[in-house]
């Protein structure tokens, strides 16, 4: 499928639902040196993951932005994340500049358990950041690390959502899984979390957390696709609860780092058994618009 054909197919999905476009809460734009390392990881991770992971949209930054525009993505994110200390503040500076230059991009920031974290997170909040990213697996840190106490407190008070990769897919980490998040929410019950990848493969546990915690959401990133269903399928018995949680399910794609097309990411969601157009309108647009206060002129 050519890009023009794919763009037309994507637009048919959201226009057929009566939507003005898509809001994608899980896309990645990073400094080139960091993105190159991410792509190199996926290129070399085949033996560890048990399969190849080709990057479908491996092209330059400007071209990737134009692709999302052609798909009709009204708002997207630049989810950056550090894997070591003294990296997050630099990533935040880059992401803030990218958002200033890219009107569709929601201003994004990140953090790491380090002494400086409370300062640069507070600065990001003052500067108008719209969404944070936390990657427990790559960062290899406990979300309950005391160095993050002030960070979580400030974010909780701000109400700004955090897209958090805390499930154990594609590979478990020392601090992944539902229990660290349950402990975090006991201390900060008003945290607005968006659990990436629906918490795969611990779908059921994270769906429990979502249904028990009014401010917790799940994003659909990679869930329900053929690529994931081969190894980590969503449990069919939990589909009624997933449908019941519809107002807190948000669309995410993982663009550009996906091993299939953007159109496939959407059709995987539209094919979830038992969902109706109202549920899909919420997932592809309306739920995120409400959570992120995105108006009709976006």
pLDDT tens digits for range 244-271: 999 999 999 999 999 999 999 999 999 9
What pLDDT score does 1 carry? 82
pLDDT in tens, 276-293: 999 999 999 999 999 999
Give the DSSP letter string of 222-279. Answer: TTTSHHHHTTSPPPGGGHHHHHHTGGGEE----BTS-SS-HHHHHHHHHTSTT--HHH
Cβ neighbours for 2, distance < 8 A, ≥ 6 positions apart: none
Q: Residue 173: helix, strand or coil by DSSP?
A: coil
What's the average model confidence in pLDDT over 219-235? 95
Q: Name the least confident of 172-181, 227-236, 288-297.
A: 288-297
Is 296 a residue whose pLDDT tops 80? Answer: no
What pLDDT score does 262 carry? 98
pLDDT in tens, 73-111: 999 999 999 999 999 999 999 999 999 999 999 999 999
* pTM greater than 0.85 (yes/no): yes
Q: Hey, which CATH number is domain 3-291, 3.30.1490.20, 1.10.760.10, 3.20.20.140, 3.40.50.300?
A: 3.20.20.140
């Amino acid at each position: 499928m050519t890009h023009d054909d794919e763009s037309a197919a994507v637009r048919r999905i959201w226009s057929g639902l009566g939507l003005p476009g898509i809001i994608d809460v899980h896309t990645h734009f990073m400094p080139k040196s960091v993105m190159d390392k991410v792509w190199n990881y996926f290129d070399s991770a085949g033996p560890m993951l048990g399969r190849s992971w080709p990057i479908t949209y491996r092209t330059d930054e400007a071209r990737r932005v134009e692709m999302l525009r052609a798909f009709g993505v009204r708002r997207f994110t630049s989810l950056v994340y550090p894997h070591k200390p003294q990296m997050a503040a630099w990533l935040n500076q880059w992401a803030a500049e990218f958002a200033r230059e890219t009107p569709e991009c929601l201003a994004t920031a990140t953090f790491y358990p380090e002494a400086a974290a409370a300062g640069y997170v507070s600065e990001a909040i003052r500067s108008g950041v719209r969404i944070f990213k936390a990657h427990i697996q790559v960062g290899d840190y406990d979300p309950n690390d005391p160095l993050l106490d002030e960070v979580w407190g400030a974010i909780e008070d701000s109400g700004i959502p955090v897209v958090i990769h805390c499930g154990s897919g594609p590979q478990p980490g020392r601090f992944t899984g539902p229990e660290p998040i349950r402990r975090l929410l006991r201390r900060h019950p008003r945290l607005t979390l968006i659990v990436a990848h629906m918490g795969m493969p611990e779908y059921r546990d994270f769906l429990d957390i979502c249904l028990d915690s009014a401010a917790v959401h799940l994003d659909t990133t990679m869930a329900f696709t053929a690529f994931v269903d081969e190894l980590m399928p969503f449990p069919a018995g939990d589909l009624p609860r997933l449908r019941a949680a519809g107002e807190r399910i948000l669309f995410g794609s993982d663009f550009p780092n996906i091993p299939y097309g953007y159109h496939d990411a959407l059709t995987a969601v539209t094919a979830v058994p038992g969902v109706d157009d109202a549920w899909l309108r919420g997932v592809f647009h309306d739920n995120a618009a409400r959570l992120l206060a995105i108006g009709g002129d976006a």
